[in-house]
Chain A
Amino acid sequence: MDLTYSVEHEKYREEVIDFLKGWPLSGEDARLPIEEQESLFRQHGIDAGYVYRNVPREYGGAGQAPDALKDSIVREEFFRVSAPWDLLNQGAGMLVPTLLEFGTEEQKRRFIPKALTGEERWCQGYSEPGSGSDLASLQCRALRDEEHYVLNGQKIWTSNAKQAHFMFGLFRTDPAASKHAGISYLIVDMSAEGIDVRPLREMTGGSEFNEVFFNDARVPVEFRVGAEGEGWAVSRATLIHERNLIGNPNMMRDTFEDLLDLARRTQRGGQAAIKDPYVRQRLMEIEGYVRTVETSNMLQFTATLRGEPMKAMRPMMMNKLYSTDTMQRIQRCAFDLLGGEGMLAPSPEDIVGWARNTTSTGWVEAYLFSLGPAIAGGASNIQLNIIGERGYGLPRDPRPPEKS
C-alpha cells in the first residue's frame, strides 16, 4: 500500500495543472458562447494528450500509451477546476468504447471522431415498452432486405433521441432464433425516413427521454456492429461502460460537499442547520457511505491496474447500486434541509441532469433526478440479483419457459 505517486506521475500532474491554467479561456475566446469555449478547450486538451487519452489519434483521440494512473490524475485535476474533459454522454461514453472493441475500420473512422467532439450526438435504443429489465425479450424488428435492414417497431425511454443524429440499438434480426441469438447491434441514422421521435415528459418537468417509432426505416448493412445475431454480446460491453458512468466518485464527493454547504446556509432554530446534532449525525453517516465509494474505488482501481480484477469482483458488481443508493441518501437529506422550499418546482435552468447544486430548486431537481440512475442501466432489483447470483453463488431466479 502506497498512496504516493512516482516522480514521473507527480511531474505529470504538474503538467496537467499547468495546462489547466488555460481554463477558463481568456481574451477573445472568452467571448464565445460557452459551448464553443468548451469545444475549443476540449480540442486543446486532445492535442495536449489529456482528453480522450486512450482513443487512437487516427480516430480523433489523444492516442496516449495506456496508463490508468495518468487517466485518473487527469480526471481528478480536470474535475477540480470543472474544465471540459471527455464527454460522458451516450456517444463518447458508450458508443465509442463499443466501436473501438467491435467496430470495423470504416465504422471507427466514420463515427468516432464526431462522437468525441459532440458534433454528432447519439442516443441508446435498447428499452422497449414490453422489454425493460428483460431486455433480451425485445421485439423491434430489423429484417434483411438485400443490403439493408428494414426496421419496424418501437423504442422507449430513449434519452436525447430528439437531439440525436444517430442511435445505436438492439434489434431482432432473426425472429426464429432463440431469445438472445436473434439480436443484432445496429447504428441508425435518425434522419432516415420512417423514424418518428415523440418526446416524453419526465417527473422533473424536463423532457429528455422519448419514444421512437420505426416504420419501414432502412439501415445499411454496413451499419451493423459485430456479426448478425451477436448484438447481445456487443451490448453487454456497452452496458459495463454505462454502469461505470453512473458510479463516478468525483461527482459523489462534489455533491456531498454541496450538501454540507446547504447545511451551512440553512437556518434551523436560530442557528445554522449544520450545528444541529441530528443533522450532524446524518451528515456524518452519509459521509461514511461517500468515503466507502471513494476508497472502494481506489481498491478496485489498484486491483485492475495489477491485472487482478477478479480480486475486486464483488465490490465492482456492487458499484452501481452502492453509488445510486448513496446519491439518494444525499438527496433525501438535502430535501429535508430545504424545509418548505422543498415544495417548489424546479425551474427550466435547473433541469440539466447532474450538476453542482447551489439553489433550492436545483436541489429539488436533483432529489427527483437521483431516481433516474437507480432505474436506468439495470434497476436496483436487477443489481441485487446480479450481486446475489454472481457474487455469492445464490440460486438463479426460476426461468419462465421460452415463448415459441
Chain B
Amino acid sequence: MEFGLSEEQDLMQETVRQFINQECPPTRLHEIFNAGEGHDGRIWQGLADLGLCGLMLPEKFGGAELEVLDLALVCEELGYGAFPGPFMMHSLAGVAIAKAGSSSQQDLWLPQIANGAQVATLALGEGANGWECSEWSTEVRDGRLHGIKDFVSHAALADLILVGLSDGHFAVVETGAEGLSVESQDGIDRSRPISRVKFDGVRCEVLNESGACVQAIQDVGLALLAADAFGAASRLVDLAVEYTKTREQFGRKVAEFQAVKHQLARLALEVEPTRALFWYAAHALDHLPIEASRSVAMAKAHISERGIEAARAVVELHGGLGFTWECDVQLWFKRMMFDRTYLGTPEFLRERCANLGGL
C-alpha cells in the first residue's frame, strides 16, 4: 500500500522541469504565443530526445511502456511550464493506435510517433458541447471519411489525425490526403492552437482490432487534462506568491497585508490538496478499472474548476499588470481555459459522475 511516487517518477518530473526552464522560459513562451503556431521544432525534438513522445508505447516501437500516471506527471510539468506543442494529443493518439490498431498499423505508425518524427493529433469534438460519440455524425462510408470536427489541436502541424467516429472507433488519416481541409479557429490558448477540420470523403484506415476505444482514450485524456490543469494552477499560485512578495504599496510588500495573504492561502488551499486527486485518477486507469471513468471525470471537473477560479484571482492580485498581454499570468490563464473546456466542462462531467455513481 503506497500512494506516492517512485524515485524514477520524481526524477522524471525534475528532468522535464529543468528542460522547460532552460528551453522554454516565459520570455520564449511569449514569443511562441505571439507567433501563434504553438510549436517550436527544436523544443519538440528536445522532448523526443528525452524519450517522452512514446512514454506509454510498447518498447518494441521505441516507447517506454510506462503507465498513465507517468504520462500525467509529464503533463503536470508541461502545465506548470505552459509548454507549447502537441504533446498531449500526440501521446493520446499513440495510445489509441497501440490499443486498437492492427499489427501492421502499429508497425507503420508507432515507431514514428514514439520518436516524434511524425506528429499525431486527435479530432474529437463536434460543435460546442459535442464530446460524446453518441452526438457525433462523423463516419466512414465505403472506406471514405465524412464529417466535421472542431477544436482539433495542432491540426495544421500534424502528420496524422485520429478522428473519433460516431460508432466509437477511430479512423486515421494522413494530413496530405485529398478532401481534407483545415481552418484555424483562432483559439484562445495559443500554446495549443485549434482548428476546424473537414473530411470530405477522405481516405482513411479504421482502428478496428479490439473494439471501440474512443471513450477509453477520452478517459486517459481527462486524466492528462486534470494533471495539466493542476500544474498550471500550481504555477499560478507560485506567480502570485512571488509577485506579492516583491510588489510594494503603502511602503510595504503587498503580501504583508493580511487580506492578500489570506487570499493567497485560500488559492493554495483550493489547489494543492488536489494533487492527490489526479494521481488517484491516473492510477485508477491502469489499476482500478471499475472506478476509473468516474475518477477521471471527477478529477478533471474539480481541478479545472478550482484552477480557473484561482487564475481569475491571480490576475487580480497582479493589479493592472495582471490585465496585460505582456504579463506571464495570461499564458497560464488561457491554459486553464483550454483545460477546463476540452473534453467537457465541469458541469458536463459532473452529470456523468452522477450517472456513473448511480445517483
Shortest Cβ distance from A124 into chain B, in angstroms?
26
Q: Which of A2, A293, A315 contacts B1 (CB 8 A)?
A: A2
Shortest Cβ distance from A39 into chain B, in angstroms?
32
B99 CB-CB contact with A under 8 Å: no
- Chain B residues lying within 8 Å of A119, measured Cβ to Cβ, are none
Given contacts A288-B302, A292-B273, contact A394 B264 (CB under 8 A): yes
Compute how far the CA of A6 lies from the CA of B1 in the bound complex, rounded to whole angstroms. Answer: 7
Q: Which of A295, A298, A395 contacts B253 (CB 8 A)?
A: A395
**Which residues of B275-298 have CB atoms within 8 Å of chain A's CB atoms?**
275-277, 279-280, 283, 287-288, 295, 298
Q: Number of contacting residues on A, CB 8 A?
A: 53
Is the beta-carbon distance between A274 and B359 smaller than 8 angstroms? yes
Is the beta-carbon distance between A388 and B3 smaller than 8 angstroms? no
**Which residues of B227-279 have CB atoms within 8 Å of chain A's CB atoms?**
237, 241, 244-245, 253, 255-256, 258, 261-262, 264-266, 268-269, 272-277, 279
Is the beta-carbon distance between B245 and A395 smaller than 8 angstroms? yes
Interface size class of B (residues with CB under 8 A): 35 or more
A268 CB-CB contact with B under 8 Å: no
Is the beta-carbon distance between A69 and B1 smaller than 8 angstroms? yes
B301 CB-CB contact with A under 8 Å: yes
- Chain A residues lying within 8 Å of B133, measured Cβ to Cβ, are none
Question: Interface majority SS on A: helix, strand, loop or mixed?
Answer: helix
- Taking CB as reference atom, which chain B residue is nearest A302? B4
A350-389 Cβ-contact flags toward B at 8 Å (1 or 0) = 0000000000000000000000000000000101110111
Compute how far the CA of A402 lies from the CA of B305 in the bound complex, rounded to whole angstroms. Answer: 44
**Which residues of B324-353 have CB atoms within 8 Å of chain A's CB atoms?**
346-347, 350-351, 353
Shortest Cβ distance from A318 into chain B, in angstroms?
5
Is the beta-carbon distance between B298 and A315 smaller than 8 angstroms? no
- Taking CB as reference atom, which chain A residue is nearest B241? A392
Given contacts A281-B350, A284-B350, A291-B302, contact A392 B265 (CB under 8 A): yes
Is the beta-carbon distance between A385 and B1 smaller than 8 angstroms? no
Compute how far the CA of A223 lies from the CA of B170 in the bound complex, rounded to whole angstroms. Answer: 75
**Which of A9, A314, A395 gathers most chain B CB within 10 Å?**
A395
Given contacts A295-B280, A299-B4, contact A3 B287 (CB under 8 A): yes
A4 CB-CB contact with B under 8 Å: yes
Compute how far the CA of A385 lies from the CA of B269 in the bound complex, rounded to whole angstroms. Answer: 12
A321 CB-CB contact with B under 8 Å: yes
Q: Which of A287, A305, A397 contacts B353 (CB 8 A)?
A: A287
Shortest Cβ distance from B82 into chain A, in angstroms?
21
Given contacts A281-B347, A288-B302, A291-B298, contact A1 B268 (CB under 8 A): no
- Chain A residues lying within 8 Å of B142, measured Cβ to Cβ, are none
Compute how far the CA of A90 lies from the CA of B253 in the bound complex, rounded to whole angstroms. Answer: 41
A181 CB-CB contact with B under 8 Å: no
Given contacts A287-B298, A321-B269, contact A315 B276 (CB under 8 A): yes
B27 CB-CB contact with A under 8 Å: no
Q: Which of A297, A298, A315, A384 contacts B272 (CB 8 A)?
A: A315
Shortest Cβ distance from B247 into chain A, in angstroms?
12
Shortest Cβ distance from B281 into chain A, in angstroms?
9
B113 CB-CB contact with A under 8 Å: no
- Chain A residues lying within 8 Å of B351, measured Cβ to Cβ, are 277, 280-281, 284
- Chain A residues lying within 8 Å of B253, measured Cβ to Cβ, are 395
- Taking CB as reference atom, which chain B residue is nearest A391? B268
B75 CB-CB contact with A under 8 Å: no
Compute how far the CA of A392 lies from the CA of B317 in the bound complex, rounded to whole angstroms. Answer: 16
Is the beta-carbon distance between A280 and B1 smaller than 8 angstroms? no
Compute how far the CA of A265 lies from the CA of B185 in the bound complex, rounded to whole angstroms. Answer: 47
Compute how far the CA of A302 lies from the CA of B2 in the bound complex, rounded to whole angstroms. Answer: 6
Given contacts A280-B359, A288-B302, A295-B280, contact A395 B272 (CB under 8 A): no
A54 CB-CB contact with B under 8 Å: no
Is the beta-carbon distance between B275 and A284 smaller than 8 angstroms? no
- Taking CB as reference atom, which chain A residue is nearest B286? A1
Compute how far the CA of A277 lies from the CA of B255 in the bound complex, rounded to whole angstroms. Answer: 41
- Chain B residues lying within 8 Å of A398, measured Cβ to Cβ, are 256
B5 CB-CB contact with A under 8 Å: yes
- Taking CB as reference atom, which chain B residue is nearest A308? B4
Is the beta-carbon distance between B4 and A384 smaller than 8 angstroms? no
B354 CB-CB contact with A under 8 Å: yes
Is the beta-carbon distance between A2 and B2 smaller than 8 angstroms? yes
A78 CB-CB contact with B under 8 Å: no
Compute how far the CA of A393 lies from the CA of B299 in the bound complex, rounded to whole angstroms. Answer: 28
A263-290 Cβ-contact flags toward B at 8 Å (1 or 0) = 1000000000010010011011101110
Shortest Cβ distance from A78 into chain B, in angstroms?
18
| Residues on B facing A (Cβ under 8 Å) | 1-6, 69, 237, 241, 244-245, 253, 255-256, 258, 261-262, 264-266, 268-269, 272-277, 279-280, 283, 287-288, 295, 298-299, 301-302, 305, 346-347, 350-351, 353-354, 357, 359
A-B pairs, 9 with minimum CB distance: A288-B302, A295-B276, A284-B350, A302-B4, A298-B3, A388-B265, A387-B265, A384-B265, A299-B276
14 contacts between A and B (CB under 8 A): A3-B3, A69-B1, A277-B351, A280-B350, A285-B301, A288-B302, A289-B302, A292-B277, A299-B275, A302-B2, A315-B276, A384-B261, A384-B269, A385-B261
Q: Add 20 more A-B contacts to A291-B295, A395-B261 (CB < 8 A).
A: A1-B69, A2-B1, A3-B288, A69-B1, A284-B350, A284-B357, A289-B302, A291-B298, A291-B302, A292-B274, A296-B277, A299-B275, A302-B2, A315-B275, A322-B269, A387-B265, A389-B261, A391-B268, A394-B264, A394-B265
